[in-house]
Amino acid sequence: MSHDYRPMWSDLGLDLDAHDALLDVLGKGYADIFLSQTNRPKGMEYFDFVMSEVHGLRIKELLDEKEQGRKIIGSYCVFVPEEIALAANATLIGLCSGAEFATEQVEQYLPRNTCALIKSSFGFKLGKVCPYLESADMIVGENTCDGKKKAYEILDDLVENLYVMDIPQVKSTQGRALLKAEYYRFKEAVEQLTGVSVTLESLKKGIEIVNNKRKAVHRLAKLRAASPAPISGLDALLANQVFFYDNPERFTASVNAICDELEERIQAENGVVTKSAPRVLLSGCPMAVPNWKLPWIIESSGAVIVGEESCVGERGTRNVIDDSGSTIDELMDALVDRYFKVDCAIFTPNKERLNHIEEMAKDYKADGVIHYGLQFCQPYLIESIPVEKALDKKEIPTLRIETDYSMEDVGQLKTRVEAFIEQLK
Ligand code: BJ8
């Protein structure tokens, strides 16, 4: 890290020793998993820098924004619209939840058999190690899966500024009306927080900024259809993870710069693997920083990941918003249209997700699909069975993995993944 940020972390109330330990593990993991890769695109240097300053420079930037009167909003789900936050002079950041922390303390609040993602969000709070969480003026929870829904009731006692958004579970007319009403309620809450009213122009601008960010990651996604793959799945996942907390305009420019480079690589048939490397589509639960275990196992076993059907990936970023509306209400409708297409497994029925997985497997020329379900995550684990059946009908080999954030099962996972990759060959 470029500076001594300890005074800043201390002011935020972090536990400096615990935080040092977390950064140490994160830094070592990053070096082993990312920096050890060969023939990476030059543009990844930007993301290496972002990761090296993940709790440093970016937090400093957010605190500077706060000093200038901007508010910071933290969110745990892709249903929370960044466009509205931007339109009301706030910055939205994703709260990661990708590592085990303070498990003993967490289990005083949550049952042991809670998914690792929810436990991690509590661990970062109870262990006092997340500067993003501590910088946030508002933390947004959402009624998605039962685990999150109930956990936010408990989180409400641990943080001062929790706001909970209701999310429909059925894609019906009533479900759409609920989402629209909730987005209006969120708009009012953000306006109250910042003291800035959303206008037609500011909402259009917010939509434009986020659309550009999404277009850049779509461009990156499409380039991965090339053979040999021009970028590793790990590096592409990293870009999708950084999507949630970098400055949006800088992120867009950095992803587009990588895409320019990848276009040249594709022309020159310069891949990160050979053409014969098996191509895998990863599908399932979101993978937040620093949850790199399964992608690392897959790619260190000789395959390349060519797409993520995940909220940290294409499920979360696909589709842009029509910004042609001439009233705030028309723009809010366009916003709802876009978000209502997110096919999270909390929806019932959720046939769109099956179709999307098949489409992605075809578009990115995947030889097989690995479905990643977090232990105790009922929506995705239950849905993994129809996913496997649907893919089976299309003769697309599928491997269903159930795991958590611990490293205990690495050996066993590697054996299963290697056998699957052999089968794909
Ligand atoms: S839109 S996927 S980001 S809710 S892994 S906590 S589902 S028990 S994360 Fe998600 Fe929004 Fe949906 Fe996307 Fe529950 Fe499962 Fe845990 Fe999960």
pLDDT tens for each residue of 354-383: 999 999 999 999 999 999 999 999 999 999
* Ligand 1 centre distance from Cα of residue 78 (Å): 9
**For the chain, how many structural domains are there in total?**
2
Please report whether residue 337 resides in a domain.
no
153, 180: one domain: yes
152, 221: one domain: no
- For residue 3, the model assigns a pLDDT of 86
276, 182: one domain: no
* Ligand 1 centre distance from Cα of residue 114 (Å): 12
CA separation for the pair 29, 111 (Å, rounded) = 28
Strands ordered across the beta sheet of 162-166: 90-94, 71-75, 138-143, 162-166
190, 225: one domain: no
pLDDT tens for each residue of 307-353: 999 999 999 999 999 999 999 999 999 999 999 999 999 999 999 99
Any atom of ligand 1 within 6 Å of the Cβ of 207: no
Please report whether residue 327 resides in a domain.
no
Q: Which of 170, 197, 224 is the last residue of a domain?
A: 197
Strand duo 162-166 + 90-94: pairing = unpaired
Cβ(165)–Cβ(73) below 8 Å: no
68, 173: one domain: yes
Any atom of ligand 1 within 6 Å of the Cβ of 380: yes
231, 174: one domain: no
CA separation for the pair 416, 394 (Å, rounded) = 22
Q: What is the CATH number of the domain that holds 284?
A: 3.40.50.11900
Task: Residue 359: give the domain boundaries.
Answer: 204-320+344-424
Strand duo 279-284 + 138-143: pairing = unpaired
161, 234: one domain: no
In this structure, which amino acid lies at residue 191? E
Q: Decide if pLDDT at 131 tops 80.
A: yes
In this structure, which amino acid lies at residue 313? G
Query: Residue 65, SS3?
Result: helix
Please report whether residue 279 resides in a domain.
yes
| Residue with CA closest to ligand 1 atom 1 | 344
Q: Which of 197, 218, 237 is the last residue of a domain?
A: 197
Any atom of ligand 1 within 6 Å of the Cβ of 165: no
Q: Which of 161, 178, 197 is the last residue of a domain?
A: 197
Length of the chain counted residue by residue: 425
CA separation for the pair 151, 346 (Å, rounded) = 16
CA separation for the pair 18, 127 (Å, rounded) = 7
pLDDT tens for each residue of 28-59: 999 999 999 999 999 999 999 999 999 999 99
pLDDT tens for each residue of 133-160: 999 999 999 999 999 999 999 999 999 9
Please report whether residue 126 resides in a domain.
yes
| Residue with CA closest to ligand 1 atom 2 | 344
